Amino acid sequence: MQNKGKILHVLIAVLSIFIVSLIGIIIYDRTTVNNKYKISERQLNIPIFVYHNIVKDSSEVVYDYMQTPRDIFEKQIKGLRTLGYNFITYEELVKYKNNELELNKKSCIVTFDDGYQGIYENAYPIAKKYNIPFTVFVITDTMEKEGSLTWDEAKTMQDSGLVTIASHSTDHPEFTSLTVEQAVNNVNNSYKIIEESLGEKSIKIFTYPYGLYTEEEIVALEKEGYIQNLTDNRINKSKNLDLSRLHRCYPLNDSIFKMTLKLIYRTIRYN
C-alpha cells in the first residue's frame, strides 16, 4: 500500500508540473502573440495553407483535399485569427526574407490552386468580411471555362487589394514529364497571359501542378526570378526559408483544433 501511495504522489506531482507548464506556455503565447520579429531576430514557423475549391456545403465535397465547404473555411479563418495568426502576402514574405520587414510571431499565407469559380463565389466574400489576403494560382488555359474563374472575376478580386493572381502553369501538366526548357516556357507563357489580362506583376509566384518537379526545374525557374511553391505538408521555418522551395500544407476540412494539432506535429516532425 505504501508503494502504491508513493507512486500516486509521484504521478500527481508529474501531472501538476505538466499542467503548470502548459498554463505557463499558454499565458506566454497569448501575451507575446502580437510580437513582431525580423528574420534575423527569431525563428518563426510560417504555414502556407493550400485549398482548391470552396463550395456551398458538404454535399458538394467529393475529395476533401479538393473541396472545402464555405462554413468550414470560415470557421478555419476565424479560428486562426482567434489563435493570433496574422494573414500575410507573398510580397510581405519576400520583404521578411530580405530582412526588410517584421512579421507577427504567428503569420500564415492562404492559397488556392487551379482557379475554380467557387473561390470568387464563396471564398472571396469571406476574405472581404475578415480582411484576409490570399493568392490564387490559376491555370491560364482553363480561365473562362465552365467552373473556372473569368478574367473579370480575377480582376475584381485583384483590384480589391486582397487577392494576388499567380501561375499554376498554362495547362496543368506533370512537370516531371517536361524538359527544363519546356517547363520554363510553360511558366513564362502563363505569366505573359496573366499580365496581359491583369497588368504587370511586381513579383512572380508559381506552384507546381500535382506537386511534381525536378531540381533542375527549380534552379532554372529560380534564375527566372520565380518564387516557387511545393505541396508537401511541411511548415516553413525562418532559419532556412527558401523562396524557391516554399512548403505548403492542406487544412482539408479539419476543425481548428485538428488543424492546430497538425501544425504542432508538422513543426516538430520536420524540424
Say yes or no: 45 and 147 in one domain. Answer: yes
Kindly report the length of the chain.
271
Say yes or no: 148 and 245 in one domain. Answer: yes
Say yes or no: 8 and 69 in one domain. Answer: no
Residue 157 has pLDDT above 60, yes or no: yes
pLDDT of residue 34: 81
Task: Please state the domain count of the chain.
Answer: 2
Say yes or no: 132 and 146 in one domain. Answer: yes
Say yes or no: 24 and 52 in one domain. Answer: no
- Average pLDDT of the chain is 92
pLDDT digits (tens, 9 = 90+) for 15-60: 555 454 434 444 545 567 789 999 999 999 999 999 999 999 999 9
Say yes or no: 129 and 201 in one domain. Answer: yes
Predicted TM-score (pTM) of this structure: 0.90
pLDDT digits (tens, 9 = 90+) for 61-96: 999 999 999 999 999 999 999 999 999 999 999 999
Grid cell, residue 219, equals 534552379
Task: Tell the burial category of 103 from Cβ atoms under 10 Å away from its Cβ (0-12, 13-18, 19+).
Answer: buried
**What are the distances in angstroms from CA 102 to CA 76, 196, 247?**
25, 33, 20
Instruction: Give the sign of the dihedral formed by CA 156, CA 158, CA 162, CA 167.
Output: positive
pLDDT of residue 33: 72
pLDDT of residue 31: 64
pLDDT of residue 9: 62
Say yes or no: 27 and 98 in one domain. Answer: no
Q: CA-to-CA distance for 13 and 18, rounded, in angstroms?
A: 9
Q: Which residues contact 5 (CB under 8 A, 6 or more apart)?
A: none
The residue segments making up the domain with residue 146 are: 37-269
Say yes or no: 98 and 3 in one domain. Answer: no
Exposure letters 218-252 (e unless 16+ CB within 10 A, then b): bebbeeeebbbbbbebbbbbbeebebebbbbbbbb
Cβ–Cβ < 8 Å for 253, 259: no
Residue 11 has pLDDT above 80, yes or no: no
Q: For the residues 161-183, what does the mean pLDDT come to?
A: 98
Say yes or no: 178 and 251 in one domain. Answer: yes
Coil, strand, or helix at residue 81? helix
